[in-house]
A = this chain, B = another copy of it.
C-alpha cells in the first residue's frame, strides 16, 4: 500500500461468518489529518460548502463525523481560487473535521442527460436541457448551471481544483455513464475512466506536496450493471495506488439491482483482507440500502436525503414510530395525523429537536411555513443517521448484525 502521510485505515472487527448472509461487514477506524472517522459512517452533503439548514456546530453536537463538498458546484461558485484564498473549504465553512470531495464528474455527466438521482437509479424520463456538450479523450466540455458559460474540465483539472478546496479525501474524475446507454457504451466509458484515472493519479502525486495540505485519493469502480465490466473495473482499481475505493457509476434501477452491483464490485475490492482499503458507496443513503451495503463491506455512504427530507417537512423514523408511514423510512410531519400528537418526534432520539419539541408543534411550524422547522427536522435527520451508523457499528462489534437489522425494521 502506498504511504499516505496522516491517513490510516484499520479494521477493528469483522462480522463472524454466516453462510446464509453476506458477511463482510466491518468496524474500522479511518484516520485523516482532521480526525478519525469510525466506520461504517454516513457522510453528509455540504454541496455548495454549507450543510442545508444546519450549522457546523449543530452537526458536531449531533455526532457528525464527516461531510462532503461537491467539486462541481464549488468550482463554479465561489470558485476554487476563492476557496483557497479563504483558507480551504474547512476554514471557509467552519468545519474542522474530516471531509470528502467528489471529482465533479458525477454532476457534469448527470446534468448531461438527466438529474443526478435519475442517473444512478436508471430513470429514463428526463426533460432537463443538455448541459454536457462534449466528452473526448482529453476531458469533458460542459455549460455552467449558473450562467451557461462553457467550461472544459480534465482529470488534471479535477485534482487541481480538489487540491484548492482541500478536503481530506478526494476522488478521481470518472465518466458517469447513464443507465440507458447499454453495454458497449458503458464498456468504452469505463475504459476512458481508467485512462483518466491514471492521469489523475499522476497529477495527484505530482502535486502531493502542494499548498492545500495532505490528502488521500480514492479511485472509482465503474462498469454499470454488467458483472464482467464491474469485475474488470474493480481489478483495475485495486491495482492502482489509491488510499480507498468508491463504487460509482450507474448503480441500477432499484434496490435489488443496487445490491447486485455492490456485490459484483465488492468481490474484488475487499478481497485483500491483509491490506484493507476503505470503501465508499457513492450517492446512496436509503436506510435499508445502508444495512445491506454494510453487510457487503461498504464503509461509508453519502446522500443528500437527511437535509433534503427536512426541507420537505419529513423526518426519519424507525417503522415502529412511523404511524401510518411504516412502509417508508420517514414520515411527513405535515400529515394531519401529527396535529394533536403531543409526543416527541422520535421517542428514542436524544437530538435537540426530539428533546425539545412535540410532533404537534413541528406540524404547526410546517403549516405556518416557518423556515426554522427545516433546521429542527434537519437536526433530527442528521442525529438519526449518526445513531443508525452507531447502531450498525455496535451490531457488528457484538456479532449480532442480522438480529439488529431485523429489530431496526420492526413494526
On whether the beta carbons of A364 and B78 are closer than 8 Å, the reply is yes
Report A's interface with B, CB cutoff 8 A: 48-57, 73, 77-78, 82, 85-86, 92-94, 311, 340, 342, 352, 356-358, 360-361, 364-365, 367-368, 370-376
Q: Which residues of chain B are within 8 angstroms of A52 by Cβ–Cβ distance?
A: 370-372
Q: Decide: A77 near B368, CB < 8 A? Known: A50-B373, A86-B342, A375-B375.
A: yes
Q: Which among A48, A50, A342 has the highest number of chain B CB atoms within 10 Å? A: A50
Evaluate contact between B53 and A371: CB separation under 8 angstroms.
yes
Using Cβ atoms and an 8 Å threshold, which residues of chain B touch A370?
Answer: 48, 50, 52
* 7 shortest interchain CB distances as A-B pairs: A94-B356, A78-B364, A48-B368, A50-B372, A50-B370, A92-B361, A50-B365
Chain B residues near A360 (CB-CB < 8 A): 78, 82, 86
Min CB gap A10→B, angstroms: 32
Residue of B nearest to A373 (CB): B50
Contact yes or no, B371 A371, CB < 8 A: yes
Q: A354 CA to B82 CA in the complex, in Å?
A: 19
Kindly list chain B residues whose C-beta atoms are within 8 Å of the C-beta of A50.
365, 368, 370, 372-373
A51 cross-chain contacts in B, Cβ below 8 A:
372
A342 CB, nearest partner CB in chain B, Å: 6
Selected from B56, B77, B364, B365, the residue in CB contact (under 8 A) with A364 is B77
When the two chains form their complex, are residues A361 and B86 in contact, meaning their CB atoms are under 8 A apart?
yes
**Interface CB pairs A-B, < 8 A, 7:** A49-B361, A49-B364, A56-B356, A77-B367, A82-B360, A93-B357, A94-B357
What is the chain B residue whose CB lies nearest that of A89?
B361
- Contacts A57-B352, A86-B358 known; list 13 others, CB within 8 Å: A48-B368, A50-B370, A51-B372, A52-B371, A53-B372, A54-B372, A55-B376, A85-B342, A86-B361, A92-B357, A92-B358, A92-B361, A93-B357
Query: Across the two chains, which residue of chain B brings its CB closest to A51?
Result: B372
In the complex, what distance in Å separates the CA atom of A367 from the CA atom of B364? 30
Name the residue on B nearest A364 (C-beta). Answer: B78
| Contact residues in B for A361 (Cβ distance below 8 Å) | 49, 78, 86, 92-93
Instruction: Provide the bound-state CA to CA distance between A283 and B356, in Å.
Output: 29
Q: Whole-angstrom distance between the alpha carbons of A77 and B365 in the complex?
A: 9
Chain B nearest CB from A157 CB (Å) reads 21
Q: Which residue of B lies closest to A93 (CB)?
A: B361
A370 to chain B, nearest CB (A): 5
Closest B residue to A372 by beta carbon equals: B50
Q: Are B373 and A371 in contact (CB under 8 A)?
A: no
The complex places the Cα of A356 from the Cα of B57 at a distance, in Å, of 10
User: Which residue of B has the minimal Cβ distance to A379?
Assistant: B55
| Residue among A352, A358, A361 with most chain B CB within 10 A | A361
Residue pair B376, A374 in contact (C-beta under 8 Å): no
